[in-house]
Chain A
Amino acid sequence: MARMKLRKLEEYLQGVDGFEKPKILLEQYPTPSHIASCMLFDIQSKYDDLENKLVADLGSGSGMLSIGAFLLGAQFTVGFELDSDAIEIFRNNVADMELPAIDCVQCDVIRDLTIDSWDNVFDTVVMNPPFGTKHNAGMDMRFLESAVRLSNQSIYSLHKTSTRDYISKKTKEWSVTGEVVAKLRYNIDSLYKFHKKSSVDIEVDFWKFDSSNKNI
């Protein structure tokens, strides 16, 4: 498959339907199509980590990252998602675009992927994890832990910039190397479908991790 141009990719991803009734507790907002397309385009063009790869998308939501990975040539992608309503939209998005090489598994990324059956299976893991709220702080770290187990090579993920030092420390403990490859800024509240009050932008890091020497 000839590689898709960035602009074309973004056009396609703009057509991915978002969450119908987003659940705040699960942090159900889609990655903005502009950010998703730039991220995925870099993952392929700079690091060659999508084309012909086996890819996982943790907390796949309405499918933004899974669909983008497919469009950039991933051989097969599995989205993992907890919520039935999100999965319904994922399924419709994948069916509308007639994409044959994407599966979705309904499960809890934190609870169900810490058993060994998916360990080391995926060449590349992509995710935009829930960052966690006051009640479930550190959700993104638990997603990252699952990602490290599942992957045998590369992980791409978004995390709040305020947690950068903590992530460096934690990944070192797992013998995983990582670097921030882009710094982003966006307004999460405005990404929810029926947002009411406007609020401030937050700073987000786009991380690339290498798990090939992991010890977890």
Chain B
Amino acid sequence: MKLITYNFLTSKCIRGVKVGYPLKLKIVQKEVVQTDFNPEFITRLLPRLDYPTVHMAAELVDCAEGVPKELGENYAADQDLLQKLHHILLEIDIIEGQLECPETGRIFPITQGIPNMLLNEDEV
């Protein structure tokens, strides 16, 4: 699971959960993969993401250096920053770990790179 995917996951499907976001990410094992850097793609993607959660995840994987807490207006022109965000969002692969619902503590396991967001019938 890349951190781009993490940014969109919620536990809102659980009955009674109001926001379910961000999920608490615990990383047991991660890998770094390499993908083509495309600054236009990152620029288009950023408005769709929850930026505070991007920053929080960056800190968690020790990549927050040079990544601002808040996104300025001219990020599209900042190649350095786009490159860093590309790395954080698309190149860090969480292999083993878990996601925890912030409201109920329900755990969603990440096994061999795949988050299991399935709920039991009695949870929805």
- The one of B10, B35, B36, B115 in contact with A117, judged by C-beta atoms closer than 8 angstroms, is B10
CB closest chain-B residue, reference A54: B45
Q: Which of the four size classes fits the interface of chain B?
A: 20 to 34
Q: Which 4 A-B pairs have the closest CB atoms?
A: A100-B33, A107-B117, A106-B116, A117-B10
Given known contacts A91-B114, A112-B13, A105 and B5 CB-to-CB distance under 8 angstroms: yes
CB neighbours of B114 from chain A (8 A): 87, 91, 103-106
Whole-angstrom CA separation of A75 from B2 in the bound complex: 13
Given known contacts A111-B13, A115-B10, A121-B8, A105 and B117 CB-to-CB distance under 8 angstroms: yes
Kindly state whether residue A174 has any CB partner on chain B within 8 Å.
no
Task: Indicate if the CB atoms of B34 and A100 lie closer than 8 Å.
Answer: yes
CB neighbours of A105 from chain B (8 A): 1, 5, 9, 114-115, 117
CB closest chain-A residue, reference B19: A117
Cβ-Cβ contact count across A and B, 8 Å cutoff: 70
Kindly state whether residue B77 has any CB partner on chain A within 8 Å.
no
Task: Indicate if the CB atoms of B2 and A107 lie closer than 8 Å.
Answer: no
Chain B interface, DSSP helix/strand/loop, else mixed: loop
Kindly state whether residue A166 has any CB partner on chain B within 8 Å.
no
CB closest chain-A residue, reference B108: A106
CB closest chain-A residue, reference B40: A52
CB neighbours of A117 from chain B (8 A): 8-10, 12, 21
Q: Which of the four size classes fits the interface of chain A?
A: 20 to 34
Residues 90 to 117 of chain A near chain B (Cβ within 8 Å): 91, 100-101, 103-108, 111-112, 115-117
CB neighbours of B113 from chain A (8 A): 91, 103-104
Kindly state whether residue A1 has any CB partner on chain B within 8 Å.
yes
CB neighbours of A87 from chain B (8 A): 114
Whole-angstrom CA separation of A120 from B115 in the bound complex: 21
Give the Cβ gap from A119 to chain B, nearest Cβ, in Å: 10
